[in-house]
Amino acid sequence: MKVSFIGAGSMAEAMIGGILEHRVVKRGDMTVHNRSNQKRLTALEKKYGVKSAQTLEELLKNPDVVILAVKPKDVLEVLESIQPLITKDMLFISVAAGITISLIENRLGRKIPIVRAMPNTSARIGQSATGMAFNEAVTKVHQKKALDIFQAIGLTISVEEKQLDAVTGLSGSGPAYIYYIAEALQQSAEEIGLEGHAAKNLVIQTIIGAAEMLKQSSETPEALRKAVTSPNGTTEAGIRILDKSGVKQAFIDCVKEAAKRSKELSRIQDEISVAE
């Protein structure tokens, strides 16, 4: 399988590293291009052994898969540039946030197999939670190729495209929510007397341990929480403060707001496309 990346940022690098580590694609069959940063391309060549392309024409010479990994603001310009070079034999994968399948189809001007995916930044360490949706031209063979790519960087689920806004609000933005919790836990630990290094290590292991319990247990998160919340104990005292402060509802509202913003960004991009 020959894979071409349009874009060479952090998400592209995370995917390249995962794909190569899992031997989904040979180094010589992966090519990367970005608009202007030759230094970045040289660094990726040296680190991963992939090829770089100086032009889009060179990049898009008969790849099996084309992965669009550029910032949303650059997508319309890129799609216009590659339109004459894309063929119906290529599987087109977009990881650009807020860019709908219909926008890509309209800009490319032809019906080709398109996958829209939403990984998260944990792809960097092979632990992404990725949601992906397909257009009607995607076959089972195409789906297998897409799954091979995204399973190389973590967990992957298939959803309807309309559900990708929810995926964005939950797992796309989710790492930031966990870091937010870790930030608060570490600050509180330091304020009650633990030095920084010890506090950080305890916070990290606590989060890892709880996540592994969630993964291995058949119990619900609520049941696991109640199991460690003894009546009149220390955990109950802490939970009481969280409930009083409305923390659970705040996180629910947080995810809903992020999903709402994702939907708004998709609509804005579609409106810009139509206007142009």
Of 3.30.930.10, 3.40.50.720, 1.10.760.10, 3.40.190.10, the CATH number of 3-164 is 3.40.50.720
Structure token pair of residue 133 = 């949706």
pTM score, two decimals? 0.87
Task: State how far the alpha carbon of 224 is from the alpha carbons of 181, 213, 218, in Å.
Answer: 18, 8, 10
| Residues 251, 240, 201, 258, Cα dihedral to 10° | 0
Q: Where in the chain is the domain with CATH 1.10.3730.10?
A: 174-257
Residues of the chain with CATH 3.40.50.720: 3-164
Q: Which fold has domain 174-257?
A: ProC C-terminal domain-like fold (1.10.3730)
Mean pLDDT of 138-162: 96
* Torsion region of 93: left, alpha or beta (phi above 0 gives left; psi -120 to 50 gives alpha): beta
Give the pLDDT band (50/70/90) at residue 59: very high
Mean pLDDT computed over 157-164: 96
The whole-number average pLDDT for the span 111-140 is 95
Model confidence band, residue 72 (pLDDT cutoffs 50, 70, 90):
confident
Biggest CA–CA distance in the chain, Å, is 69
